[in-house]
Amino acid sequence: MSRNNLSARGLVRRYGGLTAVEDVNMDVPSGQITGLIGPNGAGKSTLFSLLTGVEQPDEGKVLLGQRNITRMSPDARSRRGLVQTFQVPSLFPSLTVADNLLVAAENRRRDYAGDLLGFRARGRTGALQIVDDVLASLQLEDIRESIAGTLPTGALRLVEFARALCARPDVLLLDEPASGLDAAETERFSALVRRIADDGVAILLVDHDVDLVFKVVDRVYAMVGGRVVAEGAPAAVRADPTVQSVYLAQGPLTSKNTGASPAGGPSGGGPPADSPPTGGPPAVAVSSGELR
Ligand SMILES: Nc1ncnc2c1ncn2[C@@H]1O[C@H](COP(=O)(O)OP(=O)(O)OP(=O)(O)O)[C@@H](O)[C@H]1O
Ligand SMILES: [Mg+2]
């Protein structure tokens, strides 16, 4: 089954006098991991919200395959295969892991494509099969019956990822998916994301951990002050003079000094709690220091 790409054309989002997203074009193709980086206040979360439908653009459009989904609600997008994970996992804390996943599996394309795929006919049994397949493929069988609210951060993030997979996405939007994970968990997570992309899913990864982004993505977009200032292969974007300047202003381009904020709230739901209202590009100051 061919899957839909996600694309954005000429997106603009203004908050009063501030343009948080300015004429952004982006392509998130099937089978690839696309990264989005940028310093605090660059517009990453705002762009993410425009893609998920939490926010509406003032100008421009969002396309899922050929279909214009710009005015579609987040729920409608998700039933059509545009699925997101949240910075703070969006699980029902009092339900078991399996029941959380079942909700996602049962919601998938309930309203239209379920019939085409014979999914509705399979009903709960089909949904349970999806849950079991996803749990097995992520090696999460051990916590199948655990109450979600009792899980540690690392496990919660994997369950949040599993929840998104149970919705069988064409496009998966990952917001800070590795925040709170230790090195081993991040490694495991990166391998999983790659596997999902290899299955043909289009993945957009937004993360403060630029080392992670550069390591796992096929292409990357760098935003500063609402604009895309560089895009392309990770090595090329990493070497881009503007990207260098922005990160060198904060020290060498590593995960330790890119403003990672584990206490941040979920992106895409109103004003971000984790970003000071900067309103413009950060000061560009080139200091000594090499990219790793
Ligand atoms: N709801 C809002 N109302 C007013 N201004 C907003 C709102 N959301 C974001 N902004 C402003 O838009 C700009 C872009 O913010 P955004 O949160 O998209 O950046 P970001 O790249 O996600 O930053 P961070 O890395 O800190 O999460 C900032 O100047 C921010 O203060
Ligand atoms: Mg943000």
- CATH code of the domain covering residue 225: 3.40.50.300
For strand 171-175 and strand 219-224, is the pairing parallel, antiparallel, or unpaired? unpaired
pLDDT higher than 50, residue 119: no
Q: Range of 64's domain?
A: 1-81+170-182+200-251
Ligand nearest to the CA of 270: 1
Asked, for residue 260, whether it belongs to a domain, the answer is no
Ligand 1: atom nearest CA of 226 is 14
pLDDT higher than 70, residue 157: yes
Residues 32 and 176 grouped into a single domain: yes
The pLDDT of residue 111 is 42
pLDDT higher than 50, residue 17: yes
Return the residue whose CA atom lies nearest to atom 24 of ligand 1.
40
Per-residue pLDDT reduced to its tens digit, 190-226: 999 999 999 899 999 998 888 889 999 999 999 999 9
The pLDDT of residue 215 is 92
In terms of average pLDDT, the best of 109-118, 150-159, 255-264 is 150-159
Residues 113 and 147 grouped into a single domain: yes
Give residue 72 CA to ligand 2 midpoint distance, Å: 22
Round to whole Å and give the CA distance between 44 and 48: 6
pLDDT band, very low/low/confident/very high, at 283 (cuts 50, 70, 90)? very low
- CA distances to 198, 251, 284 from 290, rounded to whole Å, are 32, 9, 16
Asked, for residue 292, whether it belongs to a domain, the answer is no
Round to whole Å and give the CA distance between 187 and 189: 5
Residues 67 and 177 grouped into a single domain: yes
41 lines ligand 1 (CB under 6 A): yes
Residues 210 and 70 grouped into a single domain: yes
Give residue 101 CA to ligand 2 midpoint distance, Å: 26
- CA distances to 55, 91, 113, 135 from 80, rounded to whole Å, are 18, 20, 8, 23
Task: Check if the beta carbon of residue 54 is closer than 8 Å to that of residue 268.
Answer: yes
44 CB neighbour count, 10 Å cutoff = 26
Residues 47 and 176 grouped into a single domain: yes
Asked, for residue 257, whether it belongs to a domain, the answer is no
Q: Who contacts 275 (Cβ-Cβ below 8 Å, separation ≥6)?
A: 40, 41, 45, 264
Return the residue whose CA atom lies nearest to atom 8 of ligand 1.
271
Task: Report how many domains make up the chain.
Answer: 2
The secondary element (H helix, E strand) that includes residue 170 is none
Asked, for residue 246, whether it belongs to a domain, the answer is yes
Give residue 45 CA to ligand 2 midpoint distance, Å: 4
Tokens representing 247? 């990160």
Ligand nearest to the CA of 21: 1
Between residues 161 and 255, the one the model is more confident about:
161
Asked, for residue 284, whether it belongs to a domain, the answer is no
pLDDT band, very low/low/confident/very high, at 6 (cuts 50, 70, 90)? very high
Residues 77 and 152 grouped into a single domain: no
- CA distances to 236, 246, 284 from 242, rounded to whole Å, are 12, 6, 8
Give residue 113 CA to ligand 2 midpoint distance, Å: 32
Ligand 1: atom nearest CA of 272 is 17
Asked, for residue 119, whether it belongs to a domain, the answer is yes
Asked, for residue 226, whether it belongs to a domain, the answer is yes
Return the residue whose CA atom lies nearest to atom 18 of ligand 1.
43
The pLDDT of residue 95 is 95
For strand 33-37 and strand 59-64, is the pairing parallel, antiparallel, or unpaired? unpaired
Residues 74 and 205 grouped into a single domain: yes
Q: Which regions of the chain does DSSP assign to beta strands (E)? A: 6-15, 18-28, 33-37, 59-64, 67-68, 82-85, 171-175, 202-206, 219-224, 227-232
Residues 37 and 157 grouped into a single domain: no
Asked, for residue 288, whether it belongs to a domain, the answer is no
The pLDDT of residue 270 is 37
Task: Check if the beta carbon of residue 271 is closer than 8 Å to that of residue 231.
Answer: no
Per-residue pLDDT reduced to its tens digit, 47-68: 999 999 999 999 999 999 999 9
34 lines ligand 1 (CB under 6 A): no
The single-letter code of the amino acid at 176 is E
The pLDDT of residue 290 is 32
Residues 101 and 243 grouped into a single domain: no
Residues 16 and 75 grouped into a single domain: yes
pLDDT higher than 90, residue 89: no
Give residue 37 CA to ligand 1 midpoint distance, Å: 14
3-state SS, residue 8: strand
Task: Check if the beta carbon of residue 219 is closer than 8 Å to that of residue 261.
Answer: no
Ligand 1: atom nearest CA of 275 is 26
- CA distances to 23, 98, 108, 110, 172 from 94, rounded to whole Å, are 42, 12, 22, 24, 25
Q: What is the pTM of this model?
A: 0.81
The predicted model gives 76-100 an average pLDDT of 89
Residues 162 and 212 grouped into a single domain: no
The pLDDT of residue 153 is 87
Residues 21 and 70 grouped into a single domain: yes
pLDDT band, very low/low/confident/very high, at 250 (cuts 50, 70, 90)? low
Give residue 87 CA to ligand 2 midpoint distance, Å: 10
274 lines ligand 1 (CB under 6 A): yes
